Amino acid sequence: MGTVRLGELLGMSLGRRLFRPLRQKAGLGSANYFVTGAASLDPATSRFFNRLGIPLLQGYGLTEASPVSHATPPSKIRHDCVGLPLPGVLCRIDGPNDSGIGEICLKGPSIFVGYYQNQEATDAAFDDEGWFHTGDLGVILSDGYLQIMGREKNVIVTAGGKNVYPEEIEVILNRRPFVLESLVIGVTRPSGYGEEVGALIYPDQEALAAHFSGAHAPQTMEAVRSLIAKEIREVQKSLPSYARIRHFQVLNEEFQKTTTRKIKRFLYSGNLLATGTDGG
């Protein structure tokens, strides 16, 4: 993989040639592309597959968009974006902040015309100019590519008025060796003004078992919590001060998910109290 990374610095793509035997052994010798959607993809995952010589193309859309509005062109893959609008689809950002982040709005022949027998929901989804408001947050970059930032309703607003996007922090948390899954939510401050960042963590049970077995130490809840606290402190190093995790809880069971394997966030919004859960 080091050779592939060196090639990238020189503008060369070496993975397809170097890892051909590995892909064939894995039954992927005839795979030209992988396509991913439904949820945000960690850029590191996209980069890994592309370095193996399997172009990984991201897409974005909703059922209301039939169901894709954006896709990554194979000729220009960006690991942090979902690509360009499909032909005929218009995209704009509503109410952008200083960083250009706002609600993703769509218009075009592939966008639905309304919810069946639900005029109230239809009126709420479209503005007066006919733009469909997705409820997703994003930013359109200088080359026209769309970068997804998360769901508008999930944004955490701090006491200082800063917006924190939970999905960005979750990506970093989930890279840690002892974290299998995470959910970042807002915790109301004792004053009732603004929120602080909290995290629910489901540890990687296999990694924990291997760690405590190798250390010849009992796997107690206190020891697991201490280990997760260390993981969070490592994550904090890459976060701005206002986005640092102030509270966390370690879960004993996996998150409940939808049929498409998305965490049911609404089930956990009130599960983390701002008492005794300091993330350090």
| CATH code where residue 121 lies | 2.30.38.10
Q: How many domains does the chain have?
A: 2
Domain endpoint, select from 131, 152, 173: 152
60 and 171 co-located in one domain = no
Looking at the domain assignment, is residue 8 inside a domain? no
147 and 164 co-located in one domain = no
Question: What's 258's domain CATH number?
Answer: 3.30.300.30
Looking at the domain assignment, is residue 122 inside a domain? yes
User: Does position 39 have pLDDT exceeding 90, yes or no?
Assistant: no
Looking at the domain assignment, is residue 21 inside a domain? no
Looking at the domain assignment, is residue 232 inside a domain? yes
114 and 200 co-located in one domain = no
More confident of the two residues 188 and 276: 188
Residue 77's pLDDT is 87
Looking at the domain assignment, is residue 23 inside a domain? no
200 and 140 co-located in one domain = no
214 and 178 co-located in one domain = yes
Domain endpoint, select from 114, 137, 152: 152
195 and 251 co-located in one domain = yes
83 and 112 co-located in one domain = yes
User: Does position 228 have pLDDT exceeding 50, yes or no?
Assistant: yes
Residue 8's pLDDT is 60
- d(C-alpha 159, C-alpha 247), whole Å: 16
Nearest to residue 272, comparing CAs of 251, 243, 258?
A: 251
Looking at the domain assignment, is residue 100 inside a domain? yes
Residue 112's pLDDT is 97
- pLDDT, tens only, 130-165: 999 999 999 999 999 999 999 999 999 999 999 999
For residue 47, name the pLDDT band (cuts at 50, 70, 90): confident
- Report the b/e string of 76-115 with b at 16+ CB within 10 A: ebbbebbbbbbeebebebeeeeeeebbbbbbbbebbbeee
233 and 177 co-located in one domain = yes
- pLDDT, tens only, 101-138: 999 999 999 999 999 999 999 999 999 999 999 999 99
36 is in which domain, residue-wise? Answer: 32-152
Tokens of 106: 């769509």
Q: What is the mean pLDDT of the chain?
A: 89
Domain endpoint, select from 127, 152, 177: 152
Under 8 Å between Cβ of 73 and 136: no
- d(C-alpha 277, C-alpha 196), whole Å: 12
50 and 90 co-located in one domain = yes
Looking at the domain assignment, is residue 256 inside a domain? yes
Under 8 Å between Cβ of 159 and 147: no
50 and 141 co-located in one domain = yes
Which pairs count as long-range contacts for 157-164, CB under 8 Å and 24+ apart, including other chains? 157/186, 157/194, 157/195, 158/194, 158/195, 158/196, 158/197, 158/242, 159/189, 159/191, 159/193, 159/194, 159/195, 160/194, 160/242, 161/194, 162/242, 162/243, 163/97, 163/101, 164/197, 164/242, 164/243
Looking at the domain assignment, is residue 278 inside a domain? no
183 and 201 co-located in one domain = yes
For residue 15, name the pLDDT band (cuts at 50, 70, 90): low
User: Does position 276 have pLDDT exceeding 50, yes or no?
Assistant: no
143 and 168 co-located in one domain = no
Q: What 3 state SS string does 180-218 have?
A: EEEEEEEEECCCCCCEEEEEEEEECHHHHHHHHHHCCCC
